[in-house]
Amino acid sequence: MQVHGADIQDRDGGKGVLKRSRKRYPFVQRAYADGGYAGRLVTWAKDKTHIVLEIVRRKATAKGFEVLPRRWVVERTFAWIMKNRRFARDYEQLTAVAETLIIIASCATLVRRWP
């Protein structure tokens, strides 16, 4: 996970995430991303990190709401994090603080779900 400023495009920020994930999780072979990561990042990921970046897209024939494969996992995770009142608004000025608070919120979610 990495939080970066709004002045960085998703495709550019994705490179850092993929590089660090390769070091920490060398067994990962495939990653899923939305259309914001499409383009040169897909070939870069395959060549530099040996991770297949699969872009999840809506079908061109789709009308209205459609559940996309694997996308629901990300949306569900965001919903769990947003249950923390702190994330109702973006107050943080430093991305490091935002990353830390997201980790804390994720840990709190895991602890609540512990059997």
Question: SS3 letters for 31-89?
Answer: EEECHHHCCHHHHHHHHHHCCEEEECCCCCCCCCCCCCCCHHHHHHHHHHHHCCHHHHC
pTM over 0.85: no
Q: What is the pLDDT of residue 88?
A: 66
Rounded CA-CA distance 78/73 in Å is: 9
Q: Please list the pLDDT of the chain residue by residue as tens digits (115 residues).
A: 677 777 888 788 888 889 888 888 999 999 988 887 888 999 999 999 999 998 888 777 878 887 777 777 777 877 888 877 777 666 777 878 888 888 888 888 889 888 7
Predicted pLDDT of residue 1: 66
pLDDT of 52: 93
